[in-house]
Amino acid sequence: MNRDQLLNELSAFLRIPSVSTLPAHNQDCRAAAEWVAQELRRLGCHDVQFLGSETHPVVWGAGPEIAGAPTLLIYGHYDVQPPDPLAEWTTPPFEPSVRDGRLYARGAADDKGQVFCLLKAIAASPRPPVNFRFLIEGEEEYGSKVLFDLVEREPQRVHADAILVADMSYVAPGWPAVYTTLRGLAYAEITVRTSKTDLHSGEYGGAAPNAHEELARLLTRIKGEDGKINIPGFYGPVQRPSKTELAAWKKLPFKEKDFLNKRVQGKGLVGLRKYSVLERLWALPTFEIHGVLGGFTGEGAKTVIPAEATAKVSMRLVPNQKLKTVERQLEAAVKRFAPKYVTASVRFLHGADPAQIKLNDPSFKLLDQAFKQVLGRGTVPARAGGSIPVVPALASGGAPVILTGIGLPDDRLHAPNEKLELKQLWDGIEVFRTFYELLGESGRG
């Protein structure tokens, strides 16, 4: 298939605004699932099903049966993050646009472009080299509940010789990676209430508590200026990476200065300064504020003392931290840090335990070999700062989970102007085609 046609097909997929966290996009999520199902049918899948949800189904498929060949389960997701702030996109998020060899669209890298790459690598094989299974879900950006429930109900869905997850990136251009940990996630809303209704700041200002002020103070108590998260017990189970691992990270083509200037594009980095930036990103937990609601945020001026304010926050968790424990710790910290005259509460929206993966299955060597053949450099072991909530569930059947991907670190996932470099896509199709064939040969050996 020629590249123009491939680009047209991928663009059609990217045009569907399948934002899973916004109910207004339920039908778009369904449409993206239909798109995936159609592709699986074109690959010869005999058993394409929508499982677990009408609006955000897991798309299941099983390819043609190849006697004696290993079984490879391919995981990916067709849902995307919300595109706001819209004004910061150079071209609209759901109108894919190619500029300078880069394809710009929400989902270009996370994860539609990568799902597309995995599927087209199968189509590029003269004949299917392995037994393919597919679990392409529609709630990765919203906690993967449908897929969690499915795997609990039907654990055989994750039975395979290996599971391939391409939702990640190279550690640098030319440096493909395989990941050994994923951070977990606990997403919550912290709400403080200080009075029954909003109050006039002239009539009450100076004596009535202000919910925004109390929330700001509470948030600064939870996380200090030094970057330390002051939730009691939070760091208890956190372990430092081994000396070998830390030494290996030093050899990666990662420069803190470039990270600041080219990726953050800010004036300085923050966090626990006694650890390297890579350690902060890959091996330490976080507490981030995503947005703050309450009071008056319209145009112009309104002099109101807000009665209630809510912060949307999340914590990234590292191996040995447990989601349920961290949720209890945050709740206790909020109660402890809020003054008596404030009613404070926490509501948890979704979350995921962290994941840890050992690279001892032979399939990791085959992926390494495929990258070497195509790019001239194999995979480096790395850790991931992001989360794929369902990875522990995928691993529950005992199959090795191969976490890799064709993105680059500056793809601006979850941010305006998300992109995928076309070179990465074309290389990726060739790499995965090679990997499938190597895996098929290994099964027949």
The answer to the question of residue 295 lying near a copy of itself (CB under 8 A) is: yes
CA pair distance 56, 78, nearest whole angstrom: 9
Rounded to a whole number of angstroms, the minimum distance from the CB of residue 362 to a copy of itself is 29
Which of 292, 332, 359, 375 touches a copy of itself (CB under 8 A)?
Answer: 292
The answer to the question of residue 272 lying near a copy of itself (CB under 8 A) is: yes
Rounded to a whole number of angstroms, the minimum distance from the CB of residue 36 to a copy of itself is 22
Residues near 376 by beta carbon (within 8 Å), at least 6 away in sequence: none
Which of 76, 241, 405, 409 touches a copy of itself (CB under 8 A)?
Answer: 409
Size of the chain in residues:
445
Query: Three-state DSSP class for 323?
Result: helix
Please, are residues 386 and 185 in contact by the beta-carbon 8 Å criterion? Answer: no
Nearer residue to a copy of itself within complex by CB, 308 or 368: 308
Which of 12, 86, 247, 415 touches a copy of itself (CB under 8 A)?
Answer: 415
The answer to the question of residue 23 lying near a copy of itself (CB under 8 A) is: yes
Nearer residue to a copy of itself within complex by CB, 142 or 364: 142
Applying CB under 8 A, which part among 59-67, 111-119, 234-242, 300-308 lies near a copy of itself?
300-308
Applying CB under 8 A, which part among 35-43, 191-199, 239-247, 369-377 lies near a copy of itself?
191-199
CA pair distance 174, 151, nearest whole angstrom: 35
The answer to the question of residue 226 lying near a copy of itself (CB under 8 A) is: no
Residues of this chain, 192-211, that bind a copy of itself according to CB under 8 A: 194-210
Which of 2, 4, 156, 225 touches a copy of itself (CB under 8 A)?
Answer: 225
Rounded to a whole number of angstroms, the minimum distance from the CB of residue 60 to a copy of itself is 25
Rounded to a whole number of angstroms, the minimum distance from the CB of residue 283 to a copy of itself is 9
Choose among 147, 46, 161: nearest CA to 350.
147
The answer to the question of residue 274 lying near a copy of itself (CB under 8 A) is: no
Which of 13, 104, 142, 148 touches a copy of itself (CB under 8 A)?
Answer: 142
Applying CB under 8 A, which part among 27-35, 65-73, 121-129, 306-314 lies near a copy of itself?
306-314
Nearer residue to a copy of itself within complex by CB, 345 or 373: 345
The answer to the question of residue 250 lying near a copy of itself (CB under 8 A) is: no
CA pair distance 318, 354, nearest whole angstrom: 5
The torsion defined by the Cα of 391, 396, 402 and 404, in degrees rounded to 10, comes to 0
Q: How many residues lie near a copy of itself (CB under 8 A)?
A: 100
DSSP for residue 340: T
Exposed (0-12), middle (13-18) or buried (19+): which is 397, by Cβ within 10 Å?
middle
Q: What does the per-residue mask of binding to a copy of itself show for 386-405, with x meaning CB under 8 A?
A: xx------------------
Applying CB under 8 A, which part among 28-36, 151-159, 307-315, 431-439 lies near a copy of itself?
307-315
CA 419 to chain centre: 15
DSSP for residue 80: B
C-beta neighbour count of 248 within 10 angstroms: 14
Nearer residue to a copy of itself within complex by CB, 30 or 223: 223
C-beta neighbour count of 152 within 10 angstroms: 10
Phi and psi based region of residue 325 (left: phi greater than 0; alpha: psi -120 to 50; beta: remaining): alpha
CA pair distance 412, 268, nearest whole angstrom: 19
The answer to the question of residue 172 lying near a copy of itself (CB under 8 A) is: no
The answer to the question of residue 303 lying near a copy of itself (CB under 8 A) is: yes
The answer to the question of residue 314 lying near a copy of itself (CB under 8 A) is: yes
Query: Three-state DSSP class for 254?
Result: coil
- Helix (H) or strand (E) holding 186, with range, is strand 184-193
Nearer residue to a copy of itself within complex by CB, 63 or 241: 241
Nearer residue to a copy of itself within complex by CB, 212 or 433: 212
CA pair distance 27, 9, nearest whole angstrom: 20
The answer to the question of residue 56 lying near a copy of itself (CB under 8 A) is: no
Which strands, in side-by-side order, build the sheet including 380-384? 355-356, 177-182, 380-384
Q: Which two tokens stand for residue 358?
A: 């050992």
Nearer residue to a copy of itself within complex by CB, 191 or 314: 314
Which of 30, 56, 350, 433 touches a copy of itself (CB under 8 A)?
Answer: 350
Exposed (0-12), middle (13-18) or buried (19+): which is 100, by Cβ within 10 Å?
exposed
Applying CB under 8 A, which part among 35-43, 84-92, 241-249, 393-401 lies near a copy of itself?
84-92
Choose among 155, 185, 180: nearest CA to 326.
185
Which of 47, 264, 324, 444 touches a copy of itself (CB under 8 A)?
Answer: 264
